[in-house]
Amino acid sequence: MTAAAPGAPALQPTAATAPGAGKLLEAIGVSKSYWRRGSLLQGRIENRALDQVSLDLAPGEILGLVGESGCGKSTFAKVLLGLETADTGSLDVGDVRIFGPHRRPIPAAQRGIQMVFQDPYGSLNPRMVVRDLLSEGLRIRGGLSRTEIADEVQRHLALVGLGTDALTKYPHQFSGGQRQRLCIARAIIVKPKVLIADEAASSLDVSVQMQVLNLLLDLRDRIGLGIVFISHDMGVIEYLCDRIAVMYRGRVVEEGMASDILDRPRHPYTNLLIAARPRVGQRRQPGRTAGPEDDPAAIELAPGEPETRCLYAERCSRALDRCRVERPPLATHGTTKLACFNPL
């Protein structure tokens, strides 16, 4: 956990609502809507980017968050990080309530959550050499001498497989994969409890992608980092993740152990995603048939309009009449959680 800035509120353990033992992160019922102005008749139109999302993460676990473009993956990450404010719901990191009803949210820098983005070049200041890029977070946090900071920088460079010759180089002097490793080093140097990787390997060449994925696995094993790995690529999710949560239009529709979900997807949407997945180490075939990610859609609602149906029903070959009038709750089915009235 990042140390509190001077004058910042002290982090208080949550008493009554402390997360269950072993949970590193627990989000409950998180919703977030974006609003836009429609026509005179429509009034304000709500885009419900997150609708009652509940997810948790154990120490040393990699949770894959998967789903088509626009389903809310990045919005969920931004809400966890504090870059966006949730409309409802709560978040605990360890025994600290980060936000929740009647609580002032803990500022982003004190949440113990760091993020690695898709574009490693865009997220590194091109005018700073690596020594300054990596030490910045430690200097802002305070409490370490210059020698201690220099030692930490070198140690983290080594952790991500880079040598001390990198210290005086600028971001443009590295390859894409090396830059992404620098981003990971910069994120973990402030000792977060949770790392969120949002499409962190998606822009990389297949072999470099493997290096970054293996580095995340290594960090999970060596420093017990909990990782939320966001991707629309089921192949990468399969390679990396212990547990998978599948999102569809702002909702979690299936969640469980990766092996269970991959071997026996129960939600028709998960089944479609898995059937269309490329394997890690393989390039996508040109001219492939359209996959679910080719059909981005957002839920747009007029103010106050309840969303009382399965949002997948219109695309689902197994939809029942009930699916069009009733929202399937995310309920436990054996070892997985599922929001479907007619699962596979």
Ligand X SMILES: Nc1ncnc2c1ncn2[C@@H]1O[C@H](COP(=O)(O)OP(=O)(O)OP(=O)(O)O)[C@@H](O)[C@H]1O
Q: Which residues bind Mg ion (CB under 5 A)?
A: 74
Instruction: For Mg ion, give the closer residue by CB, 159 or 216.
Output: 216
Q: Is residue 71 near ligand X by the rule CB under 6 A?
A: yes
**DSSP element (H, E) containing 47:** strand 44-57
Question: CB of 157 within 8 A of CB of 164?
Answer: yes
Q: Minimal distance in Å, beta carbon 186 to ligand X?
A: 22
To ligand X, the closest distance from the beta carbon of 28 in angstroms equals 19
Residues 278 to 317 in contact with ligand X, rule: CB under 6 A: 298
Residue nearer to Mg ion on the CB measure, 13 or 296: 296
Segment interacting with ligand X (CB under 6 A) among 72-80, 157-165, 208-216, 335-343: 72-80
**How far apart are the C-alpha atoms of 206 and 210, rounded to whole Å?**
6
Q: Which of 64, 72, 137, 292 touches ligand X (CB under 6 A)?
A: 72
CA angle in degrees (0–180, nearest 5) for 110-112-115 = 110
Nearer to ligand X, 99 or 248 (CB): 248
Cα of 78 vs its chain's centroid, Å: 8
**Three-class DSSP category at 156:** helix
Tokens 């269309």 found at = 276
The pair of three-digit structure tokens given for residue 208, joined into one six-digit string: 């470099």
Work out how close the CB of 311 gets to ligand X at its nearest, in angstroms, rounded to a whole number. 12
| Alpha-carbon Rg for the chain in angstroms | 21
Site size for ligand X (CB under 6 A): 13
Give residue number: closest CB to Mg ion. Answer: 74
- Please answer whether residues 54 and 30 qualify as being in contact, where contact means their C-beta atoms are separated by less than 8 angstroms: yes
> Which span sits near ligand X by CB under 6 A: 63-71, 109-117, 175-183, 215-223?
63-71
71 close to 328: Cβ distance less than 8 angstroms: no
Residue 15 CB, nearest distance to ligand X (Å)? Answer: 32
CB of 152 to Mg ion, least distance (A): 31
Contact partner at residue 88 from Mg ion, ligand X, none, CB < 5 to 8 Å by partner kind: none
Nearer to Mg ion, 138 or 200 (CB): 200
Q: Which does 70 bind (CB under 5 to 8 A by kind): Mg ion, ligand X, none?
A: ligand X
CA 174, CA 162: separation in Å to the nearest integer? 11
Q: How far apart are CA 303 and CA 309, in angstroms?
A: 17
Comparing C-alpha atoms, which of 302, 251, 294, 291 is closest to residue 45? 302
Give the separation between CA 30 and CA 37, rounded to whole angstroms.
24
CB of 234 to ligand X, least distance (A): 13
Residue type, 15: A
Choice between 47 and 154, CB closer to ligand X: 47
Q: Which stretch binds ligand X (CB under 6 A): 19-27, 68-76, 213-221, 234-242?
A: 68-76
**Binding string to ligand X for residues 21 to 60, with x set by CB under 6 A, is what?**
-------------x------------x-x-----------
Q: Between the CA atoms of 216, 232, 336 and 62, what dihedral angle is there, to the nearest 10 degrees?
A: 10
| Closer residue to ligand X in complex, CB, 232/243 | 232
232 binds ligand X (CB under 6 A): yes
The whole-angstrom distance between residue 248's C-alpha and the CA centroid of its chain comes to 14
Beta strand 62-66 pairing with 243-248: parallel
Cβ 36 to ligand X, closest distance in Å? 7
Q: How far is the CB of 250 from ligand X (least distance, A)?
A: 7
Binding footprint of ligand X on the chain (CB under 6 A): 34, 47, 49, 67, 69-75, 232, 298
